Structure 1
């Protein structure tokens, strides 16, 4: 049985539209990446749209990317499920929704809806908010707590998303905007509670109050060089603060960046009137609309059932991705599985720390991988530093990854481990310019390299993320599940 290591370079795509930006990944001081890209027989994987179970043309993301890699098949994602329910007039028939409406009508209390503005579809989808507002009875007062993006969309795009929303609710006298927060505050996932607290205080009306209209507030922030991700939380006096007895509904469908805010609200107000689009965490006792589909016969499950060992390593920022999402969206540790969490460095943004925890991750890999049959490792640099829009910092982060990849190739050759290198989605390969930085994911394909005994092996020219797990199983000499895609190995 052959041992295999899978390295996932988060946010590391192939850019042919603006090839001058390839210097970020293929410059002379990236000898390992330059050699890998120069090899004519590597595979290009689709990592966006329908190929990862989301809307055609939409950017992929870390959650759907790792889920698809680990599942070995395309799994229909929540965005499509919610679209179908709203489009087919089925959402308002969900028992949780009818119960919520009944309570609000009977009690006369208010509904507070929170979530990320925008249409990139990574964490939320603004048309879902419109769909909810259409089916909420007009006698129920609705107050919106909106999070501006700037990571998965351009850094000043939220003013356009906000204007579209304002136009949509112009004839809905029962709907008002109560607060706005940059996602830096509202959607932290690394236990920076001081950030969450600011957004939470805005929802509770315990923060600076403004009599400006929301559009003016955003435009003034832009004038002050504060862009969407970092918009200071603000409460608008024309709205209403969340209070006991009110209903709180978080409409993000992706869990990782919605968990902390929901936890603090549930802790302070109880779970009875807390609703979320999906179940964000195991111990959540509130109601949620979309039930999790069970993804069976994942790579991790198959390896475990064969009595083999597996190791999952990532830093805090991406730990859920190599564990929960890689294992089919289930918070489960399979028999024979060991998970190693490396702490992410505590910095405000990763342009201040572009190498992140890459050295610490490799140290854990080097110490442990030879003792496991399968190892998966995530390096977050390309995505997390790419999101900052800082070209120099992103270049530094990729230079560090190039060094790590060189060490990993040598380590695997020395320990008779077959090495696979790929990515979950694109990001750092398109950075824009210092004057107009690009901070979002991309729809670009991602590379896939198979390295054996230190040499790159030719694989099929094209595929998708769903082809990775079957490839690993074939190398290990294990039969793939019947519902998995095909291997990328050549006959």
Structure 2
């Protein structure tokens, strides 16, 4: 068929919305999303790979929001920081990294302490334990005995109770290497907030710097005590390890910190607390420490006074840049929880808006510590903003993220996640109704899986983390509508073999705009695969 060229295209990314067979732990299937199913009945859909090597991750590694949006926007498989850093350990270059060596020299020169700050977790989404072990090896090689670990616990990209296992592995490594002692433990809810809840960040900072917070004589005891109270890894309050009623170690003037999280979005606020506290939205701002050497594993955000161990890989000719260069206007919107994903991640690491790009951030609910209490989040307001923009704006391209399936899925609350899917579905119907009369196109996809597998099929335990499931890709446009509805719904998609990857989305959008694909984009258009799904198109 001759491919029409569209003047308005909406890319709707359903965060954490994977495709899997019907099961009692599949919140999407259980929600029976009527509006989405109606679109699947009438318009073509395929599934895409969103994990492992096809998104630049190691084999079997689940996808995540950063990786997903990078690949979607870049139109190519983007080599991710995790395998890049791991490869440098294997080659030995890690131990020659100038920024790591600078931190070590700073400690030796000032006779001070080296602090290794980051998530210790098997999740592999924000950090990787082997990177911490390598840093401990480097400290031993450099003769730095005053090396302290400030552990952030997960329970979100993993099962809710993995910290004790991680601690035991860390204990064994420390015994083997000969340096390192855990000085603080903080749950990621406090240490890795990205929603502007600065009081949570400040609680972590106070534990790290002033020894203020919960106290415990050992990391194992700290975690076990929380478990006994029904508080699991994600929600562990910042806790200071003590010896003789004094903190094991505080981050002080003249010290060096290496923040070993490689993912940026949830490391920004705590980094700002150290190097730019004036940017914190709290009433009483603390003063920055003197002569603090602060190294970040990757570039968390521009213009921070930090040393970056692994600089960003430049991505040229991503979809947002190409649309901007063509003189077209574009609109990027999301809730605050996912705003970085439709901006800097989607735009290939570029933080600032491009010419012709406008952004809208809708505040996620801030009066709850757990989105299972507010499964609808702010999706209705976000969708209303988009619908109004479609009707009255002159944008050609819209990219919007619906956070609910991922954020509520991470709580492990199946019933709330079902409600979250229903809330999403209602807004999908409104968006389709807004774009179709304008002869535009709506693309519905996802960045990774989560809500489709909330109960481990093998163990029966709650699953709160991401998955390796494929994701949907639905093209809703008048010219692609079937002449007769087909018996296809969300559950049917589980029987589809994936026919592409996230990197194929941008080339598809370019073809729908009638724009050429640059050579840097190695993804391919999905239009031929979609055409085969229109069995009885008129």
Question: Given that residues 336 and 362 in structure 2 are in contact (C-alpha distance below 8 angstroms), is that contact kept between their aligned partners in structure 1?
Answer: yes
Tell me how far apart the structure 2 counterparts of residues 29 and 441 of structure 1 sit (CA, whole Å).
Answer: 21
Q: How does 1:32-431 map to 2 (within 5 A)?
A: 32-36=35-39, 41-136=44-139, 137-208=142-213, 210-238=215-243, 239-267=248-276, 268-269=288-289, 272-346=292-366, 347-370=368-391, 371-431=394-454
Tell me how far apart the structure 1 counterparts of residues 471 and 319 of structure 2 sit (CA, whole Å).
Answer: 20
Tell me how far apart the structure 1 counterparts of residues 290 and 344 of structure 2 sit (CA, whole Å).
Answer: 26
Partner SS state of residue 443, structure 2: strand
Partner SS state of residue 19, structure 1: coil
Compared CA separation, residues 375 and 174, structure 1 to 2 (3 A): same
2:525 maps to 1:487 = yes
Tell me how far apart the structure 2 counterparts of residues 28 and 100 of structure 1 sit (CA, whole Å).
Answer: 51
Partner SS state of residue 170, structure 2: helix
Compared CA separation, residues 388 and 462, structure 1 to 2 (3 A): same
Partner SS state of residue 385, structure 1: helix
Compared CA separation, residues 287 and 412, structure 1 to 2 (3 A): same
Tell me how far apart the structure 2 counterparts of residues 311 and 171 of structure 1 sit (CA, whole Å).
Answer: 52
Compared CA separation, residues 409 and 113, structure 1 to 2 (3 A): same
Question: Given that residues 272 and 286 in structure 1 are in contact (C-alpha distance below 8 angstroms), is that contact kept between their aligned partners in structure 2?
Answer: no
* Shift in Å, 1:332: 2.5
* Shift in Å, 1:37: 5.2
Q: Deviations over 1:126-168 (max 9, x none)?
A: 1100111112223341011000000000000121111100111
Compared CA separation, residues 460 and 116, structure 1 to 2 (3 A): closer
Tell me how far apart the structure 2 counterparts of residues 37 and 123 of structure 1 sit (CA, whole Å).
Answer: 34
* Shift in Å, 1:408: 1.2
Partner SS state of residue 462, structure 1: coil
* Shift in Å, 1:280: 1.1
Partner SS state of residue 388, structure 1: coil
Question: Given that residues 9 and 378 in structure 1 are in contact (C-alpha distance below 8 angstroms), is that contact kept between their aligned partners in structure 2?
Answer: yes
Tell me how far apart the structure 2 counterparts of residues 166 and 327 of structure 1 sit (CA, whole Å).
Answer: 40
* Shift in Å, 1:41: 4.7
Partner SS state of residue 181, structure 1: strand
Partner SS state of residue 132, structure 1: helix
Aligned match of 1:437:
462
Aligned match of 1:451:
476
* Shift in Å, 1:404: 0.7
Partner SS state of residue 237, structure 1: strand
Question: Given that residues 49 and 498 in structure 2 are in contact (C-alpha distance below 8 angstroms), is that contact kept between their aligned partners in structure 1?
Answer: no
- Please report the RMSD computed on the Cα atoms of aligned residues, expressed in angstroms: 2.1
The TM-score, its normalising length taken from structure 2, stands at 0.87
* Shift in Å, 1:212: 2.8
Partner SS state of residue 360, structure 2: strand
Tell me how far apart the structure 1 counterparts of residues 79 and 460 of structure 2 sit (CA, whole Å).
Answer: 38
* Shift in Å, 1:369: 2.2
Tell me how far apart the structure 1 counterparts of residues 25 and 436 of structure 2 sit (CA, whole Å).
Answer: 31
Q: Deviations over 1:363-395 (max 9, x none)?
A: 111111242111111000000011111111111
Partner SS state of residue 118, structure 2: strand
The TM-score, its normalising length taken from structure 1, stands at 0.95
Compared CA separation, residues 272 and 231, structure 1 to 2 (3 A): closer
Q: Which runs of 5+ in 1 are unaligned?
A: none
Question: Given that residues 254 and 291 in structure 2 are in contact (C-alpha distance below 8 angstroms), is that contact kept between their aligned partners in structure 1?
Answer: no
Tell me how far apart the structure 2 counterparts of residues 418 and 40 of structure 1 sit (CA, whole Å).
Answer: 11
Partner SS state of residue 369, structure 1: helix
